[in-house]
Amino acid sequence: MATASPEVIIKAQRLAIRGRVQGVGYRDAAVQAAFELGIRGWVRNRQDGSVEALAQGEPDAVDAFASWCRRGPPLARVAEVTLVDAAVDTSLRAFETRPTG
């Protein structure tokens, strides 16, 4: 008798990161952090000077990414991170940088 494999739970969150987060390597560092955590999604600069990201994966990994976003890379000065639950995007295969939105 075959046993059913446990259902994988995927969490998706959209993050808005404000502060000194552009021109400090934030996006490249976010891609590296996401790779290390095994999450999928994207990151991009916003025209208002903030950074936006979509992160999805195992709940603990997404939570760890949100914690990383609150610190950012060494030159960043994060003032605020707003989290909003998002729909899972099954088309995402990696974590990438996207054009400014």
Catalytic residue, candidates 20, 27, 77, 93: 27
Torsion of CA 69, 71, 76, 79, to 10 degrees: 80
45 is catalytic: yes
End-to-end CA distance of the chain: 51
Catalytic residue, candidates 18, 45, 71, 98: 45
Question: Alpha-carbon distance 33 to 49, whole Å?
Answer: 21
Strand residue runs (E) in 21-86: 40-45, 51-57, 77-85
Active site residues: 27, 45
